[in-house]
Amino acid sequence: MSTDPEGARGAGERAAVRLDGVRILVTGASSGLGRAMARALLEGGATVALASRPGPRLDAAVSALASFGPRVWALGLDVRDDASVARARRWVDRRWGALDVLINNAGLGMRTVNPRFMVEPTPFYAVSPDGFRAVIDTNLTGYFLVARAFVPPMVQAGRGKIINISMNRETMRRRGFVPYGPSRAGAESLSYIMAEDLADTGVTVNLLLPGGAADTGMIPDDTRAELSRPLLAPEIMAAPIRFLASSASDGVTGQRFIATQFPAHPGA
């Protein structure tokens, strides 16, 4: 695997890297990091499918990007549902013929099991089984299901990129962060194993995380004043996601990039 790729060095000077003709699917694109990344990729010239569960939020996200014309698409997708994922794969095959870049971003946050998780942590034994399963099914199993569906044609073509969105490792050991922490730890392990499984196929797998808590709607408004640090703007992901989706990152695989440190080397 590439650990200090030529493409990663000097990536800051490549913030304006072009993505013309690149076909990209972003899951969880109706809000937060997904929506910000979709806009950044469109601004770089890519054709982007905003994938999310159908509804007003997805409609609003696509409408907000209408200025990009035929390069922006809405794709109804529930990453937890095998049948929905299969339909998304057929949609891409029919509309585009192939997918160049898959960005796994769809996720549920801790607020779904404890709205005051940032200031009043709940111990793991107080989390409901349904709440645990919902987060794991979205944040971990969803990454697996979507990648499993879209990787085979990439392998056949001998090219493709998978970018899995993660979070700081402190969330994987922080008090009161079950099930979110385990879901992200699992997704990171999945990513590294995917990279190993795809070695020498031409398909790369990398991780990208903001580098801190981001203003994505996962943190309730009534707890923001109690946070020790300000929230990051979702747009922090723009430069690194364009780099990772572009030919500038060719040959880079099995790496973990932190948006707040970009264009520094992959971080721990």
Q: Which residues are catalytic?
A: 180
**Cβ contacts of residue 155 below 8 Å, gap of 6+?**
198, 201, 202, 203
CA pseudo-torsion sign 207, 213, 214, 216: positive
Judge whether 166 and 259 are in contact, CB under 8 Å: no
Distances (CA, A) of 127 to 111, 172, 223, 235: 12, 16, 20, 32
CA 234 to CA 249: how far, in whole Å? 22
Q: From CA 126, how far away is CA 252, in angstroms rounded?
A: 41
